[in-house]
Structures are given as C-alpha cells and as structure tokens.
C-alpha cells in the first residue's frame, strides 16, 4: 500500500509526536484515526500525564478504552464519533465542537466540550461526567444508567433536539438552554420517552407535549437545587460560566413514573 496516498481523506502514517517533560504533543493534521490513536495510547503508555492533539479534523475514537486516571487529553479541532467511548479515568477537553457518540458507554473520567456536540451523547454511559457548553442533537443521554456509587452526569449548556433522555435508566441529565445558536424550544419532543430511572433537570419550563408519558413533571425544590448546585458549580468552573446566572431561572425536574414502563407489553 502506498502510505503517501490519501485513504478516506487521510494519510495512514504515524503523526509527529513531540515530548517535553510529561506532556506529549501530537500533530494530527491529515493523519488517519488509527495511527493517531496509536500515538495517543503510546504516549499514555510511556507515562505522559498530558496529551495535546492538534489539528484534529474528524478522527474518531479519541480516548476510547483508555484506563488512566490522572491523564489529561486536549483536543484542538473537531473530533469524530465516539470520543471517550469506554473511557475509564482520563479528562478529555475539546477546544471546538464534537460529533456523535461522546461518552458512549463511558465508565469514569470527564469530557469537556467548549462548543456544540452531536447525537446520542452518553449512550449507555455508566459513570463520569460530560460537560458541553453549547447545543446538542438527538437522543442525548439515551440508556444512561447508574449502579451503586457509579452515577453518570451530563450537563448541556444549550438546547437539545428530540428524545433527550430517552430510555434513561439512571444518572443525572441537565439542560440549560443558555448557550449555542440552535433555534426552537429548549428541548424537542419525546423528552424522557421510556425513562425508567435517573433524573432530568431543565432550566426553564416545558409543555406536556414535549415530555414522554413515562415522566412526571415537577418544579425543582430547594432540596433538588441543593443536590444540583455542586454539579452546576463544577460545570461553570470548567467552562467559565457564571453560576449566579445559571441559577437565576427556575428548573423543571423530570422523573420516571415507573421503573418498568412497558411491563404490560411483555408476557413475563
């Protein structure tokens, strides 16, 4: 194979890597995702505590499966699908937008996105945190789950499309509607459809037509806000947002009305 010939628009060559102290800088421009991710894993395996990836343009699977608490990965550009999939421990910070599947089945760690993000964020997410400053797409938070002390948390600062929190089984999902350029309501239709665990907080009000019939709609109480505020403070610190402004509007709380909403559809 001619490695100098483009493959899917990229070159299947090892990226340039510069190491200074415990920081590895990877030049990802035009490099195929496989070779780029091999360089990331090699850097972490060699003891790097900080990995800086520059000129990212759609390369997928960044941070996937990396089990390395204390490691920080900076992504400059737009990462492709499944950023931080199966990740267990690192912090990934994206200085730009992100595509679909951020935090897919993520176990622990944190993802911070300074722009917008796409669809199915946090699919099956079972721990860690995902913080997005801007808007998000469809089916965000689908199948999020919690087990004992592992409680996934996602905060999105903009608006969301349909099926926000679909089939949610656990964790905390927050939508602020404050940042981003997406037009339309705070959240689309079928919010919380099939939800049977966890909690959704929406900054502002929603109408009943926007919410799945599996959810109860409540105004967040002082006790609810006491639980939510530390999460929002962490989000604001990471994304340079004013916590007082975030808390200046009331929140709506969505919780499931049943832990088995479709039980009557099955024979057992």
CATH of domain 115-268: 2.160.20.60
**Tens digits of per-residue pLDDT, 21-69?**
999 999 999 999 999 999 999 999 999 999 999 999 999 999 999 999 9
Q: What distance in Å separates the CA atoms of residue 85 and residue 97, rounded to the nearest whole number?
A: 17
**φ/ψ (deg, to 5) at 222:** -60, -35
CA pseudo-torsion sign 94, 15, 100, 92:
negative
**Tens digits of per-residue pLDDT, 88-121?**
999 999 999 999 999 999 999 999 999 999 999 9
Token code pair at residue 118: 């796409």
- Please determine, for residue 185, whether its predicted confidence score (pLDDT) is greater than 80: yes
Domain spans of the chain, in order of start: 1-102, 115-268
What is this structure's pTM? Answer: 0.94
Collapsing DSSP to helix, strand or coil, 227 comes out as helix
Q: Is 18 exposed, middle or buried (0-12, 13-18, 19+ CB in 10 A)?
A: exposed
Compute the chain's Rg from CA coordinates.
19
Q: What distance in Å separates the CA atoms of residue 84 and residue 219, rounded to the nearest whole number?
A: 33
**Tens digits of per-residue pLDDT, 153-174?**
999 999 999 999 999 999 999 9
């Amino acid at each position: 194979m001619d490695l100098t010939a483009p493959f899917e628009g990229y070159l299947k060559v090892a990226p340039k890597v510069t190491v200074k102290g415990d920081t590895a800088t990877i030049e990802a421009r035009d490099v195929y995702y496989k070779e780029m991710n091999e360089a990331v894993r090699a850097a972490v395996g060699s003891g790097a505590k900080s990995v800086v990836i520059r000129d990212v343009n759609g390369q997928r699977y960044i941070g996937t499966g990396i089990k390395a608490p204390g490691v920080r990965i900076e992504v400059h550009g737009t990462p492709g699908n499944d950023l931080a999939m199966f990740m267990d421990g690192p912090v990934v910070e994206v200085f730009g937008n992100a595509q679909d599947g951020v935090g897919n089945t993520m176990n622990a760690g944190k993802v911070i996105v300074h722009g917008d993000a796409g669809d199915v964020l946090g699919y099956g997410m079972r721990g860690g945190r995902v913080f997005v400053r801007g808007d998000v797409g469809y089916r965000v938070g689908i199948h999020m789950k919690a087990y004992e002390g592992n409680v996934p948390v996602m905060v999105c600062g903009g608006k969301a499309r349909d099926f926000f929190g679909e089939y949610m089984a656990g964790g905390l999902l927050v939508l602020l509607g404050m940042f981003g350029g997406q037009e339309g309501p705070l959240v689309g239709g079928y919010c919380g459809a099939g939800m049977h665990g966890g909690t959704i907080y929406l900054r502002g009000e929603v109408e009943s037509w926007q919410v799945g019939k599996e959810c109860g709609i409540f105004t967040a109480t002082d006790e609810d806000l006491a639980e939510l505020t530390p999460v929002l403070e962490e989000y604001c610190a990471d994304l340079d947002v004013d916590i007082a402004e975030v808390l200046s509007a009331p929140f709506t709380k969505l919780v499931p009305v049943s832990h088995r909403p479709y039980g009557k559809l099955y024979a057992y």
